[in-house]
Amino acid sequence: MNKITKSNFLKISFLALAAVFYFASCRYLSHKFDSGDEIIRKKASANPIISLSLSMSKELRQVAASYLWLRVDEYFHSAAVRMSENREIIPLIKLVTIFDHSFIEAYLVLAHHLAYHLDKKDMAIEVLNEGIENNLNPPASRLSELYFEAGWINATLLKDTKEAILSLAAGKKYLSDDCDIDNASLALRLLNYLKNSQKDIFDMDTYRKTISDKDIYAKLESLGREAEEQHDGEDGHATDIEGPADEHRYAGQNPWQNPFLSARLTKAAYVYAFMLACFLLSRAIASYVLPRR
Kindly state the smallest distance separating residue 215's Cβ from another protein, in Å. 25
How far apart CA 159 and CA 103 sit, in angstroms, is 28
Kindly state the smallest distance separating residue 148's Cβ from another protein, in Å. 17
Q: Which is nearer to another protein, 123 or 261 (CB)?
A: 261
* 181 HSE (CA, 13 A, CB side): 3
For 114, residues 6+ apart whose C-beta sits below 8 A from its C-beta are: 90, 120, 121, 123, 124, 127
Kindly state the smallest distance separating residue 174's Cβ from another protein, in Å. 12
Kindly state the smallest distance separating residue 126's Cβ from another protein, in Å. 23
Q: Which is nearer to another protein, 37 or 133 (CB)?
A: 37
Backbone angles phi, psi at 77, to 5 degrees: -95, 5
Contact predicate 217/224, CB 8 Å: no
* 98 HSE (CA, 13 A, CB side): 22
- Judge if the upstream peptide bond of residue 244 is cis by omega within 30 degrees of 0: no
Chain residues binding another protein by CB under 8 A are 11, 14-15, 18-19, 21-26, 28-30, 32-34, 36-37, 41, 44-45, 51, 54-60, 62-63, 65-66, 69-70, 73, 102, 105, 135, 138, 140-141, 244, 247-248, 250-251, 255, 260-261, 264-265, 267-268, 271-272, 275, 286, 290, 292
Kindly state the smallest distance separating residue 15's Cβ from another protein, in Å. 6
